[in-house]
Amino acid sequence: MGRPTTLLQQRPVYVIGIGMHPYQFPSETPYPQLGLRAVREALVDAGLAWPQVQSAFVGTAALGMAAGRVMLRHLGSTGLEVAQVENASASGSTAFRLACLQVASGERDVVLAVGVDKFGDGRRAVLKDGLPPLSPTANVPLVKFALLARRAMREGGLHIEDLAAVAVKNHGNAARNPYAQFRKPRTIEQVLNSPRIAGDLTAMQCCPRGEGAAAAIVVSEQAMRELGLDRSRAVRVLSSVASSEELVDDAPALVELVRKSAAQALDQAGIGPRELDIVELHDAFTIEELLYSEAIGVCEAGEGPAFLARGGSQIGGQCAVNPSGGLIGMGHPLGPTGIGQVAEITRQLRGEAGDRQHPGARLALAHMIGLGSVAVAHVLSRG
CATH code, domain with 255: 3.40.47.10
My answer on whether 93 and 176 are in the same domain is no
Q: What is the DSSP letter of 156?
A: S
- Position 319 in a domain: yes
My answer on whether 256 and 366 are in the same domain is yes
> How many C-beta atoms lie closer than 10 Å to residue 44's C-beta?
11
Check residue 1 and give its pLDDT. Answer: 46
Instruction: List Cβ neighbours of 62 (8 Å cut-off, separation of 6 or more).
Output: 117, 118, 119, 120, 121, 122, 334, 335
Point out the domain boundary residue: 217, 235, 253. Answer: 235
pLDDT digits (tens, 9 = 90+) for 321-354: 999 999 999 999 999 999 999 999 999 999 999 9
- Position 293 in a domain: yes
Q: Are 204 and 9 in contact (CB under 8 A)?
A: no
pTM: 0.95
Short-list 149, 179, 151, 144, CA closest to 166: 149
The boundaries of the domain holding residue 223 are 7-120+209-235
Confidence of residue 121 (pLDDT cuts 50, 70, 90): low
φ, ψ (nearest 5 deg) of residue 65:
-65, 145
Does the pLDDT of residue 136 top 80, yes or no? no
- Position 381 in a domain: no
Confidence of residue 234 (pLDDT cuts 50, 70, 90): very high
My answer on whether 299 and 312 are in the same domain is yes
My answer on whether 299 and 346 are in the same domain is yes
My answer on whether 24 and 114 are in the same domain is yes
Report the domain count for the chain.
2
